[in-house]
Structure formats: structure tokens, C-alpha cells
Amino acid sequence: MKPINVGLLGIGTVGGGTFNVLKRNAEEITRRAGRPIRIVTVADKNVEHARKVAGEGVKITDDAFSVVTDPEIDIVVELIGGYGVARELVLNAIENGKHVVTANKALLAMHGNEIFEAAQRRGVMVAFEAAVAGGIPIIKALREGLTANRIEWLAGIINGTTNFILSEMRDKGLPFAEVLKEAQALGYAEADPTFDIEGVDAAHKVTIMSAIAFGVPMQFGAAHVEGITRLEATDIAYAEQLGYRIKLLGIARMREEGIELRVHPTLVPEKRLIASVEGAMNAVQVQADAVGSTLYYGKGAGAEPTASAVIADLVDVTRLHTADPEHRVPHLAFQPDQVRDLRVLPIEDVITSYYLRMRVEDKPGVLADITRILADSEISIEALLQKEAEEGESHTDIIMLTHRTVERNANAAIKLIEALPVVKGAVTRIRMESLE
């Protein structure tokens, strides 16, 4: 049978992985896809490197735009990243009637609505399994595996760098800055780790998942994004004493009034499976009305795990590329005319529970003052840990876990607590999810 011709844009880590896996498992993949999938052209600025990875028999060019207009190409794989030239190339490919496979979460989170609309108009597919959680087939699970369900919420460890750092901070009791350096030395964190440690990468991914889980547009700009840079080893230790782990979660929750879309460090009960996800691994827990809770676990990054997702998309697109659009799975799980205009709620409207740590004077009545403020704000306390003051210290730590409340309430109560003369400095506040 006639092979399907792929043009690969960018042959860096993931591009190289894709090339190698397609070659190594060519027979296995053809046995499944029904026809060979071959990369016929590679575009990369570094032509020499591209030639070295791709070997002979593959056309190499430094002009990616020549690939997206090449009539010989059936599918364009975009692995350049970013949302500058990548956006232009993807839109250009679509206009030229090419199907697109991409691992570019930033692009989709920022410009997904435009891209999917263009693809819909032109009748081509844009597949993006590799954009979220690397090799874990979570997009397919959400889009096709759970179609019977009203998805209620999802919560994911979707950034390996930060999960590695948090695991190390907990294991070794070390501060963030030190572990970050270690992670950089080991190659788990990039030289400029901002996108990872500030939660931006996770926010891109949870934005994409929220769209296909709830049938809403991508609303990356409205997501609440908080990284792990200010997290202290003390809080990881206290959380552990209380039976919790701290994870950087991307959370999307459907509520009647709108959706919650947020990334922040989160206390999770240690008995939840997701709490045991260590190192650079990823996992996404999905709560849905019929199936209940399901969880998907695996490597969220790396050359071959990500290539695994890129190629799965290539096989899907290969099968359906001559089919009527109605036979295809909608890009965003829901039919394009069935996307709902449900807005992302501001963070003050989020409902969650909290871990609060405060430094207080070690004298009678302090706890009464604090708990009174919480009671007045209708915030009830689930657990409380008061440390004995260390010898010679006039202050001690109080740690509280609250029940669920609106963030606006919590903010107000925290302000009042911080205004108490017996409370020293700011209250440390970390959100908490039971994930039940």
C-alpha cells in the first residue's frame, strides 16, 4: 500500500526520537496502521545535524515553509515549539490542506482556538497527544475513552521537572534553590527553568485538557498560575506529618457558574495514588460521573515517550486522512458547534481547602483568637498542629488544615489573622485537594 508521507519540522530531542522510533518499529507500526508511515522531509535550521540524525534517503531543508506547501507531504509534524514561527507554519500547513501533528502545548494553549477553527474550515486534522503528559495517552482517554461521562474535574502532575524537585525536597529535606541546581546538573531542569518552575508549562497543559474535558474554548490567559519557587521544605515536612504530600497540580473543575483552571502547589492525601507519583513521572487523575475516578501514569517527557505520542497521532491520522470529516473524532472531543462558552472563574471564586502555617507568640489565648476569626468567616478546621516552642523561643508554629471554602473567604480571614499582634509575619497558605 502507498506509504503516507510525513514532513518533520524540527529534529531536536523529540524530533530525533520520533525519527528513531518510526524507523526501529517500522514493521510493528505498519502492521497496525495498515500502510507504511515514512518521514520524507526534515526541516531544521541545523541542516548538518538533521542530516546526521536522518541519514540518507531523506530530504533535508532549512526552509520549513517549503515543507508545509510541498504537495508530496500528507502530514506535517510540528516539533519546533514556541508560538512564533510555529503558529505561522501550522496555519500555513492547514491552509495547504495538510494534516498536522504537534507536541506544542504553548501554541495550542495560546492559539488553539484559531488553529482548530482553521483546521475545521479546511477539513484537516490537528492531533496533539504529545502536547500533554508526553507518552501517556491522556488526550485519547479524555476525548474518546470517557465520552459517556460528564467529566467533573481533573488534576494532574503534568510537569516532570517540578515533580522531580518536589520529590527531592521531600526525600532530602533540602530547600528549593539547592534542589533546582541539582536538577539542572542532572538534566531534569533546563538552564532557564522559568516555564517549568513558575507553573506556566503545567498551565498550558491543563488548559488543553480543560477544553477537551468540558467542551469549552482554550482560555490560557484566564488560568491562575502559581509555581513552586516559594515553597519551603518546612511545609513539605509539616504536610507529611499530617499525612499529605505537596504536588504541583494542574486542576480543572467544572462548576455550574464556570470552570476552575489553576496550577499551584497542592496538598494531597498520601493515600491517593497520585501522591505516590515520584521523580519526573507524570499522572493525571480524572473524576467523571459514570466511571468515577481513573488515573493515567507514565513518562511526561523525553525523546521516545513523547515520540510515542507523536506516532500514535500519525497512525490515527493515517487511518482517517481520506475519511469524511464526520467519521473523525472532533479535535476537542466535542463537535465544533457544540463548544460551550463557559468562562474561567477568577481565583477568588475557587472553592478548595487550605493548609495554613503561621508563626505566633507562645502564650495563652492566641489559638482562641485565630480560631475565632476562622469561625466568623465560616471556615471550619479539619486538623490542627501546634508545635511546642523550642527552648528560648518566644514564638511557635501553628499549622491548620481547613475544610472547603471560597478563596475570597480564606483571603479575608488570613488578612485578619495577619493583623493580630500575636501573629508574626505572613501566613503561609497552600491549597489542598482531597481528590475524592
Which positions touch a copy of itself (CB under 8 A)?
Answer: 17, 21-22, 24-25, 28-34, 129, 134-137, 140-141, 144-150, 215, 273, 276-277, 288-299, 302, 304-305, 307-312, 315-316, 319-320, 322-324, 326-330, 333-335, 338
Question: How far is residue 245's CA from residue 31's CA, in Å, rounded to a whole number?
Answer: 44
Instruction: Determine the residue type at 94.
Output: I
Nearest distance in Å: CB 330, a copy of itself: 7
* DSSP structure class, residue 93: H
Q: Do 208 and 108 form a contact (C-beta atoms < 8 A)?
A: yes
Q: Based on C-alpha coordinates, what's the Rg of the chain?
A: 24
3-state secondary structure at position 270: coil
Torsion, CA 273, CA 278, CA 280, CA 283, rounded to 10: 0
Judged by CB, which is closer to a copy of itself: 27, or 48? 27
Distance CA 102, CA 93 (A): 12
Q: Which residues pair with 402 in a beta bridge?
A: 381
Consult the annotation and say whether 292 binds a ligand: no
Is 205 an active-site residue?
yes
Asked if residue 345 belongs to a known ligand binding site, the reply is no
Instruction: Give the Cα separation of 106 and 121 in Å (integer).
Output: 22
Choose between 78 and 129: whose C-beta lies nearer to a copy of itself.
Answer: 129
- Minimum Å gap between C-beta 196 and a copy of itself is 20
Residue 181 assigned ligand-binding role: no
Least distance between a copy of itself and beta carbon 407 (Å): 28
Q: Closest Cα partner for 159 from 222, 128, 203, 223?
A: 203
Cell numbers for 74: 500528507
17 is in an annotated binding site: no
3-state helix, strand, coil in the chain (%, to 5): 40, 25, 30
Residue placing its CB nearer to a copy of itself in the complex, 29 or 261: 29
Provide the 3-class DSSP secondary structure of residue 40. strand
145 annotated to bind ligand: no
Give the number of C-alpha atoms closer than 13 A to the C-alpha of residue 354, restricted to the C-beta side: 24
366 half-sphere exposure, CB direction, 13 A CA radius: 19
Least distance to a copy of itself, CB of residue 120, Å: 13
Q: Minimal distance in Å, beta carbon 12 to a copy of itself?
A: 17
* CB-nearer residue toward a copy of itself: 68 or 277: 277
Query: Smallest gap, in angstroms, from Cβ of residue 387 to a copy of itself?
Result: 30
Determine if residue 161 is labeled as part of a ligand binding site.
no
The neighbouring-strand residues paired with 60 are 42
The residue among 308, 317, 312, 300 whose CA lies nearest residue 18 is 308
Task: Report how many helices (DSSP H) and strands (DSSP E) the chain contains, helices first.
Answer: 15, 17
Cβ within 8 Å of residue 272, ≥6 positions away: 285, 435
Task: Report how far residue 112's alpha carbon sits from residue 220's, in angstroms, rounded to the nearest whole number.
Answer: 10
Beta strands in 25-116 (DSSP E): 37-43, 59-61, 75-78, 99-102
Between residues 252 and 312, which has the closer beta carbon with respect to a copy of itself?
312
CA torsion angle 235 237 270 202 (round to 10): 40
Residue closer to a copy of itself by CB (options 400, 435) is 435
Is 45 marked as a binding-site residue? no
Residue showing cell 477568577: 346
Catalytically annotated residue among 2, 140, 172, 205: 205
Least Å distance between CB 165 and a copy of itself? 20
Q: Judged by CB, which is closer to a copy of itself: 328, or 395?
A: 328
Is 248 marked as a binding-site residue? no
**Residue ranges of the binding site for NADP(+):** 9-16
Active site residues: 205
**Residue ranges of the binding site:** 9-16, 105, 190
**Residue ranges of the binding site for L-homoserine:** 190
**Residue ranges of the binding site for NADPH:** 105
